[in-house]
Structure 1
Amino acid sequence: MPVVIVTGASRGMGAAMARKLLSAPISAKVVLVARTEEPLKAFATEFPDQVAYISGDLSKDEINIAAVKLAIDKFGALDGIVFNAAVLDPIAAVAKADAAEWKKLYDINFFSMLPALKEAIPHLKASKGKVIFISSGAAHHYFYGWGAYGSSKAATDHLAATLAAEEPDIFTFSLDPGVMDTNMQVALREAHGPEMKPSEHERFLNLKTDNALSPPSLPGGVAINLLMKAPMDLSGKTLR
C-alpha cells in the first residue's frame, strides 16, 4: 500500500482526495493534516488501520515536519505528498494591501510546504515518490484584489518545476483543479463582492447559478490518478 500525506484534508478537494486514496482499489495509508480535527477523526474511525492525522496550524513549521515523521513512524515509508491546504484571504487591491495579511497567507499557501519537503525529500527519493501541488487558475489569470492568493499559487507552480529539476527521482507536478463547489466559492459569492470588480464577482455568482462548478471529487480524482499512474515525462509540468 502506498503511504501518502494530504494537507487541507478536512473538507473540499482535500477530503475528496483523502477518500479516494483510502478506498479500494488504492487502499492507501494516509496521513491527514488540517486545522479542523473532527473530520480527520471521522476518517480515522472509518479507516482505523489506514489513517493517522495531525490537526494544527499549517503555518507552523513543526506541524509540517511532524506530518512527515508521523508517516515514517506509523507506516514505515512515504510515497507521496499532496499539498492542498490554502486560504484565499486577504482579497484587496494592492493600493490597500496589508503586508502582514499577505505574509499570513504565504505562511500557509507557500512557506508551509518548505519544511515538509526538506524533511520528506530523502524518503521520497528512496521510494521514487510523487508530490502534487494544488495550484489555481489565479496563478496566471489576474483578478482584481487577488494579488496575495494568485501570486502564492504562481510561486507554487515555480516551486513544483524547481523540485522536478533538482530531484529527478521524485515525480512532481502542479495541478490547477478549475472552479469547484467548495467553501472558497461560497466566500467569494457571499463575502468578497465589495473587494472585487462587479463583473468578476458576477462571474462567480453565475458559475453557481449555471451549475458550472465541479464537485471536488472530480478534480480530486484526477489528482489521485496522476499521483498513482502519471508518466515521468509530465514531471515539472503545471496541468489543468
Structure 2
Amino acid sequence: MPVAIITGASKGLGRALAGALAARGWDLVLDARTSEVLRETAAELEARGARVTAVAGDVTDAGHRAELVAAAGKLGGVDLLVSNASALGAEPLVRLEALPLEGLRRALEVNVVAALGLVQEALPSLRASEAGTVITVSSDAAAEAYETWGGYGASKAALDHMAAVLGEEEPGLRVWAVDPGDMATDLYAAAVPDDDDPRPAPAGVVPAFLRLLDERPASGRYAAVSLLVEGR
C-alpha cells in the first residue's frame, strides 16, 4: 500500500484528506501538535481499517521530522508528503504595522523552513517511490494582497516558490502547491474570529487533491476550485 505523511492532520483539511486516502487503502503517518486530538483522529481511521501511525510533535523540531519519516519507513517508505501544518503569525490577524516580528518568524519557520526540512528528510524515500509526490498547501493570500494577511501570505508565497523550484530540481517527483480556497477551519476562525459568513467544509475540496493524485499532472501550482470545476 502507498504511504502518506500528512502534517497538521488532526482536524480540518489534513484530517479530511487523511480520511479520503484511508478509504483508498493508503497507510498514513499523521502529525499534529495536540496529541489527544491526533489520537482520536488516528483511532477513527483505524476503525475504518487503515494502518495509521500518529506522531505528535512540532514540525519545526528536526527530531520530530526525522521521526515522521522513520515511521513512514516502517510502513514501506514515503510515497506522498503533504505539508499542511500552518501558522498565522498573529491570532487574530493584524496589519503589517502591528505584526509581531516573532510571529512572522514563527509563520516562516512553520510554513516554509519546516516544510523544506521535512522534504529534505523524506527525499531519499520519495525518490525511491514509483510515484513520489510532494503537496504543499498554499493559500490565495500567497498571490493576492488582502489587508491583515501580509505575514501569512508572505510565508505562503515563499512556500509556493520553494515548491516550484523543487519541482524543477526533482523532475522525477510531482510537486504541487495547492490553493484549497476558503474553508471553515479552526485556522480561519483564529485568523478572522469576527467573520460569521458561512464557508465550505474542508471535505469539499478533498476531491481536488484526489484528482491530482489520479491524473498526476506536471508539477506546479493548482487551485482547488479550478480542479473541481474542470472535474465535473
> Is the structural similarity TM-score above 0.5?
yes
* 1:167-178 paired onto structure 2 within 5 Å: 167-178=170-181
TM-score by length of 2: 0.87
Equivalent position SS for 2:220: coil
**Match among 174, 182, 204 for residue 218 of structure 1:** 204
CA separation in 1, counterparts of 2:211 and 2:37? 23
CA contact (8 A) 1:65 1:115 kept: no
* 1:1-240 paired onto structure 2 within 5 Å: 1-23=1-23, 26-46=24-44, 47=46, 50-72=51-73, 74-90=74-90, 91-127=93-129, 128-190=131-193, 204-205=195-196, 207-208=197-198, 213-226=199-212, 228-232=213-217, 234-240=218-224
Instruction: State percent identity of aligned pairs.
Output: 34
Q: 1:95 to 1:188 in 2, by over 3 A?
A: closer
Please report how far the alpha carbon of residue 110 of structure 1 lies from its aligned counterpart in structure 2 after TM superposition: 1.2
Please report how far the alpha carbon of residue 219 of structure 1 lies from its aligned counterpart in structure 2 after TM superposition: 1.2
Q: After alignment, is 213-222 or 134-143 more displaced? A: 213-222
Unpaired stretches in structure 2, ≥5 consecutive residues:
225-232
CA contact (8 A) 2:181 2:223 kept: no
Amino acid at match of 1:119: E
CA separation in 2, counterparts of 1:148 and 1:231? 31
Amino acid at match of 1:239: A
- Matched pairs, number: 218
Please report how far the alpha carbon of residue 10 of structure 1 lies from its aligned counterpart in structure 2 after TM superposition: 0.6
The structure that has the greater radius of gyration is 1
Equivalent residue number for residue 227 of structure 2: none
CA contact (8 A) 2:126 2:173 kept: yes
Amino acid at match of 1:167: E
Runs of 4+ deviating beyond 4 Å: none
CA contact (8 A) 2:88 2:191 kept: no
Structure 1 residues 65-99: Cα deviation after superposition (integer angstroms, max 9, x where no partner): 22111100x20211101111112232222222322
TM-score by length of 1: 0.84
Unpaired stretches in structure 1, ≥5 consecutive residues:
194-203
Equivalent residue number for residue 197 of structure 1: none
Amino acid at match of 1:145: T
Please report how far the alpha carbon of residue 187 of structure 1 lies from its aligned counterpart in structure 2 after TM superposition: 2.3
Please report how far the alpha carbon of residue 33 of structure 1 lies from its aligned counterpart in structure 2 after TM superposition: 0.4
CA separation in 2, counterparts of 1:99 and 1:89? 8
Amino acid at match of 1:81: L
CA contact (8 A) 1:173 1:239 kept: no
Equivalent position SS for 1:150: helix
Structure 1 residues 127-161: Cα deviation after superposition (integer angstroms, max 9, x where no partner): 13111111000001111222110001101111111
Q: 1:60 to 1:216 in 2, by over 3 A?
A: same
CA separation in 1, counterparts of 2:19 and 2:37? 12
